[in-house]
Each structure stands twice: as structure tokens, then as C-alpha cells.
Amino acid sequence: MPSQINLRNVSLAHYPSALFDVSVRAGRIIALSLSSERGATEGENFDLHGRTLIAGIDDSHLHLIEMGRAFTAVDLRNAEDNDRFLSILRNARPESNGWIRGQGWDITALTGDGPEGRPTSSLISDAGHSAPAVLGDFTGHSTLVNKSALTHAGIDSQTPDPIGGRIDRYADGSPTGLLFESASALVLAKMPAPTRSDLKSAITLGIADLLSRGITAFTEPGIGPGADSLLGGAAGEEALEIYQELAQSGELPIRTTLMLLFSGLGGSNVKDIASGLENFGKARPLLPHSFLGIDQVKIFADGVPRSRTSWMKEPYDDGTCGHMTIEGSSDVERLQELDLIISEIHSRGWQAGLHSTGDATSEAIIESILRVQKDGRDGRHYLIHGNYLNESNMRKMSDAGIGLNTNPLIRWMVGQGNDARLGVARARANQPLQSALNAGISLALSSDAPVSEPDWKRILVTAHRRDLRDLDASPSDSQKISLIDGLRSMTEGGAYQNRTEGWRGRIEVGYAADLVLLDRQIDWNDDGSSLLESKVQATLVAGECKYGSLEG
């Protein structure tokens, strides 16, 4: 590309009634003006004929390595019942390591002879496989394995549940093959680890996919020694090394923020986190116009409502309320440990992102952050998911600068799946987006890929329409947000979450030239149809075209 490029006659989302010129040089936006006021400029000109230009999309919660790995796993996302599950699995073949690896099934779609009719290892056996098989559900919080995998892991009726996890069992105590939360690590630890080449390939595949979608930045939410129970268990310390090597060699073409994970899906404790941070050293923020930052810590504070592992203030349909997956033998001990964990992260100058789907968990985290921030420093800590926030807690979040990162596509995918567990009214209150904006909370929408597809256009439209995969939106749903607010949450919101709002996330002079050109002018006031119909024509990162072309 020439040293300076001028993007002529573009439509900007926030000013749809006029056309603008945007000039880029040395990775930055150097000029922004109305096309009607154009003056002489150097460099190469591209007349874009009114097409829409937006700031680069930031998918601020996306498991890139596991997304890349999912491209080579058995795809179970369309297993809408046992028959379809078996049909897909019968065609699966073991990988070169002798194991079958799959991902994407839904616990509400499958049945079996387990407690409450849950699926068991016999479902895999029915597909005719004797090789060890490890099949992660679409949420990443449940894993279905067969008897061969249980044997490899040494799991039997005498195996205790790990901290923050549960082995599903028959009445006699023997394992069914269904593992919840941190129990997945018991098998994942025995599955042959991916090679370094496998990991680099996953990163390369994932980044290419993101750039083709117009995503110029992402946050990898959980990498390091505690990732052995997370999704496929591949985002461990070797993956952390590869990211750093790619950044040092200039081969990382996308803005990347890594969240360190020390305790996995369950059993988070201050001892592991303190020693892990001590060994790693100081936080490394994403500095202006750089490509890699490592300054956040991921904490799994609870699970998901689907497996009743979210800590709720009111009981589920079975009379239980769940509890936090923080280390501790009682709610009191877990709350004390949570305080110590957040204090440790905050005092070291790191930023905490805490997975919280239950309303009791969210309230506990908010109160804990309020206590540690009495030192007067805004740590910009944030809730991940924060599904069932109430007005009081949202006001406290706003006052304390606590952000919210949540995932409309997951809500869409779950649909009515939690109605029986939570009751319809409570289930439908999931993700109070407009209330969060009204309260002044910094909102970042994301995909949590590979849990859902990193389709930012669909995310925006889903947040705007508030529909579910199995239910049309209610006209009276007050939590719908505008497409423009959704776009801000995936540009400015992601930048703010990562403390980089001073140099990226906006089309503004001096900001990074991370830009996305769509193939048409978008009507931001329709129901999202024009956005869904659009295609990404070009993706620029630091002013360089990383996907597509500005020509044509």
C-alpha cells in the first residue's frame, strides 16, 4: 500500500446523512473531513461511493485457540437430537493421537439413561466407537466422554468430585460419562496434548477467520496453566508462549489481549493466583498502536444455569441455588476467598474479568470490588456474562466503574432452554442490555467463540431484536438496544474494557487505522436487515489491508 491512502466518499455509522473522507498514514488516521469540503491531499485515493466505513470490530471475549481447534474437531452443533448426534458421530474418525475430539452439542437436546434423563457414555458407544472420545458441549461447561476415556483418566465410583466440578453419577456412584465444570480436566489432562504446530495452525486459522469478518481486535479469555479444563484444554502455557513469539517477530496481525487463567473452570484460589502472577511478572498492557497486551486475569466464579452451577438467589426447579465454584466448602468460605482473589489481582495492578452467570455471584463480585476499590483506584474490573443483574447492582457497577461483557448470541442459542430450571420470567430477564446502558455501565458485547460464532453483525441484530432461536421477540421487551449502541459496544466498548480507548475503537484523527469497509451503505434505523445482508469488503489493521480490497 502507498504511504498514505485516502478513503473518499464513505458513510460513517454515526453520521449517515453525509459522506466523509478519511486519510490514513503510518497506521493512524491523520485526517477526517466532509467529502464536500475536500481539499488537495497526497497519496492514493479510493472512491468508495457511499459504502459504510466503521471502526474495527473488537470481539472482546473470544477463545481464539479453541475456535481454531474447533475447525478440525467433530462438529456437533447441529445435533438437535440423539439420532442426529449418532449420525454425525458414526462418521467421526480418531485423530492421529487415537482420540476422538468433538465440540458443540447441547445438553437440552440429548437424552440418555443418566440422572434426569441426561446423556451418558452409552450414547457414544451406540455410535460404534471404542476409541477414547471427548466431546465438549457448546458452552464449554460440560463434557461427554465414553468409557474408554473414563478408563484412561482413572475415573470410577471412588473418584471424588474436584473442587468446582462434578462427575455425573448413576445411583450406585459409578460415573455416567458426563462431566461438569472443572471435572472435565480429569479427562482432558489424559488426552494427548496438541503439538506446537497444531497450536500455531489454530491461531493462524482463527485470525484469518476473524479478519475476514472485520474483527481487528480480540481478547483471549483464559490462557495459561489453568486452561487445562477450559473447552478443549489447549490454551495452556505453550499457547501463551506462541502468542508472545508471534508478537515479538511482528507476525501477529491483530490487536490481542490475553487473560491469564490460573485455576481453570473451578477451584479458583488466591494461592494459585498470587504465585502465578509472581512467576509471570508485571502486567503488560496493550500499549498505543501495539499488538499484544497481557494484563488481565480470568476468574471462573460460577458455572451456567443449564447445569444448575450458577449461584442464584432464588432456587432452581429442583430447590437448589447452586454455589460459586471458588475454592471453599461453604458459601461463607467461598465469599472470603473471592475477596482475597480480587484484592490480590487489584493490588498488583492487574485487571480482573470474572465469569458470573448467577445473580448471587454477580452481587458478591460487585460488593467485593467495591471493598477493594476503597483504595481509590479504579481497576476497571468487569463481569463476564452478568446475566441476571438487578437495578440496584447495576447502579453500583456504574458508580464503581465495573464493566459488563456479555453475549447476545448465546442468549439466542439457549432460547427457552432455561425456562424449566429458572421459570419463564426469570429466564427471559437474561441480559438487561438497555438497563445497563441507562445505568451508565460500559457495555462490551462479544461472541465467546467457539461457544457462538464470531458473527458481530448477528450479535448486533440479536441485541437489537431480542429474539430467541425458538421464540420471537416480545414487542414489550424493554431491553432491546439500538444497532448504533450495539456497534459502539463492539468498537468503543471493547477498547474501553481493555483500557485502550485513547487510541483505538473510533474513527477519529490520531486513532489507529483499524477499519472495516462494508460493501454497501447501512440503514442503521431498520431492523438490522441491511446489516445482515452486507459483506465485509476490506479489513484494515494499522492502515494495512489484511483482508479483501479497497478496489471495486
**Residue 387: per-residue pLDDT:** 96
Shared domain for 44 and 88, answered yes or no, is no
Please tell me the pTM assigned to this model. Answer: 0.90
Confidence of residue 189 (pLDDT cuts 50, 70, 90): confident
pLDDT value of position 516: 98
Residue 33 has pLDDT above 70, yes or no: yes
Spatial CB neighbours of 88, under 8 Å, sequence gap ≥ 6: 74, 75, 76, 78, 79
Spatial contact of 315 and 308, defined as CB atoms under 8 Å apart: no
Mean pLDDT estimate for the chain: 94
pLDDT at residue number 87: 93
Opening angle at CA 89, ends 92 and 206, nearest 5: 65
Give how many domains the chain has, as a whole number.
2
User: Do 86 and 9 have their domain in common?
Assistant: no
Q: Are residues 79 and 183 in the same domain?
A: yes
Please tell me whether residues 107 and 144 are part of one structural domain: yes
Distance CA 353, CA 295 (A): 11
Q: Do 158 and 110 sit in the same domain of this protein?
A: yes
What's the rounded Cα separation, in Å, for the pair 504 and 472? Answer: 36
Query: For residues 357 and 418, is the Cβ–Cβ distance under 8 A?
Result: no
Spatial distance between the Cα atoms of 339 and 346, rounded to a whole number of angstroms: 11
426 is a domain residue: no
Q: Residue 37 — very low, low, confident or very high, per pLDDT cuts 50/70/90? A: confident
Mean pLDDT for 334-349 is: 98
Judge whether 516 lies within some domain: yes
Q: Are residues 38 and 120 in the same domain?
A: no
Q: Is the same domain home to 25 and 124?
A: no
Please tell me what DSSP assigns to residue 169: E
**Per-residue DSSP letter, 386:** -
Asked if residue 23 is part of any domain, the answer here is: yes
Indicate if 85 and 35 belong to the same structural domain: no
* Residue of 416 and 265 predicted with greater confidence: 416
Query: Tell me: the pLDDT tens digits for 438-454?
Result: 999 999 999 999 989 99
**Whether residue 97 is found in the same domain as residue 170:** yes
Is there a domain that residue 519 lies in? yes
pLDDT for 231 beyond 90: no
Q: Is residue 467 one of the residues assigned to a domain?
A: no
CB atoms within 10 A of CB 332: 9
Q: Which of 164, 177, 198, 80 is nearest to 134 (CA)?
A: 177
Q: Residue 35 pLDDT > 70, yes or no?
A: yes
Are 16 and 96 found together in one domain? no
pLDDT tier at 143 (50, 70, 90 boundaries)?
very high
Whether residue 254 lies inside any domain: the answer is no
pLDDT value for 272: 95
Range of the domain at 523: 4-50+507-548
Boundary residue ending a domain (188, 210, 229): 188
On the question of pLDDT at 113 being above 70, the answer is yes
pLDDT of 14: 87
Question: Which runs of E-coded beta strand occur in 363-491?
Answer: 382-385, 403-406, 443-445
pLDDT at position 228 is 66
Q: What is the CATH number of the domain that holds 28?
A: 2.30.40.10
Cell matching residue 455: 458473527
> Exposed/middle/buried for 144, CB within 10 Å: 0-12, 13-18, 19+?
buried
- For 52-71, write each residue's pLDDT tens digit: 999 999 999 999 998 998 88
Using pLDDT thresholds of 50, 70 and 90, give the confidence band for residue 492.
Answer: very high
Counts of helices then strands in the chain (DSSP H, E): 19, 22
What is the CB neighbour count within 10 angstroms for residue 415?
16
The reply to whether 78 and 184 lie within a common domain is: yes
Query: Cα dist. 411→298, 302, 406 in Å?
Result: 21, 17, 9
- Which of the four pLDDT bands, split at 50, 70 and 90, describes residue 218? very high
Residues 98 and 184 in one domain: yes
pLDDT band at 9 (very low <50, low <70, confident <90, very high): very high
β-pairing verdict for 515-518 and 52-55 = antiparallel
